[in-house]
Structure 1
Amino acid sequence: MGIILRWLGAFVLLSATFNPTDINYVRWAEANYAGQFPLVLFLGLLLAVGYMIYVVATLRSIGAFGIVLIAAIFGSALWVLIDWGVLTLQNQSLNMWLAILALSLILGAGLSWSILRQRLSGQASVDEIEG
């Protein structure tokens, strides 16, 4: 359940920042920048903290190579679905949601990597603290 919640948190963070609908931070901030700058800045900083938590944890746990590898897996899966005619590149809204889904799965996997590795290998991982 914890892994699903971590992924869901990443999905909410990404889709709250930007999505194909008009209900997202970027479009709201563009429309309200002049009149509500302090609130735009405050919410933007909250989103930045969320991204910092997810991105730093993902980089520490799976690294840049792991991020590229997982992105390549998702990309090749989408390629297969497009090749089979299940998906098409014509629907830009669907493409955006698929990109948000792929990025959220990468961030969710990065935040949950120690749990996933422990379940797959049976070995617990601990952080090393250098002194």
Structure 2
Amino acid sequence: MGFVIRWVFAFVLLAATYNPTEWNFVRWSMANFETNLSLTVLFGLILLVGYIIYLRATLRSIGVFGMILVFAVVGTLLWVLYDQGIVSLDNPTVNTWIAVFTLSFVLAIGLSWSIVRRRLTGQADMDDVDE
């Protein structure tokens, strides 16, 4: 259940930043930048804090190579689904949602990996000693 919660928060973070609908920070800030500069900066900083938390944890737990490996596995899965005719990549809206899902999955794995590794191996990270 913990992984699902981490994935949902990563998905919300990415979808709040950009998605193919009108309801995202990028489009809202471009339309309201001049009239609501303070809110634009506040919401942008809140999103930045979320990205820093997720990216820092992901880079510390699985690193760049691990991120590339997870992207490769998910990309290959998409390739198989496309090859089997299950997924069509003709719709740009669906492609954007697939990208948001893929990125959120990578961030959720990165945030959860230290916990999974500790449960599998019994080895604690140096940051986990105080628990």
TM over 0.5: yes
Q: CA deviation at 1:48?
A: 0.3
- Runs of 4+ displaced beyond 3 Å: none
Q: Percent identity?
A: 49
Secondary structure, in 3 states, of the residue corresponding to 2:35?
Answer: coil
Question: What is the correspondence of 1:58-77 to structure 2 with a 5 Å cutoff?
Answer: 58-77=58-77
Question: What is the correspondence of 1:91-130 to structure 2 with a 5 Å cutoff?
Answer: 91-119=91-119, 121-127=120-126
Secondary structure, in 3 states, of the residue corresponding to 1:35?
Answer: coil
Q: CA deviation at 1:109?
A: 0.5
Structure 2 length-normalised TM: 0.93
Task: Tell me the alpha carbon deviations over residues 3-28 of structure 1, each in whole angstroms, 9 at most, x when there is no partner.
Answer: 11111110000000000100000000
Task: Tell me the alpha carbon deviations over residues 39-82 of structure 1, each in whole angstroms, 9 at most, x when there is no partner.
Answer: 00110011000000000100000000000000000000000111
**CA distance in 1 between partners of 2:127 and 2:7 (Å):** 25
State yes or no: 1:42 paired with 2:42. yes
State yes or no: 1:81 paired with 2:81. yes
Q: CA deviation at 1:128?
A: 5.2
Query: Mind listing any 5+ residue stretches in structure 2 that lack a counterpart?
Result: none
Structure 1 length-normalised TM: 0.93
Pairs aligned (count): 128
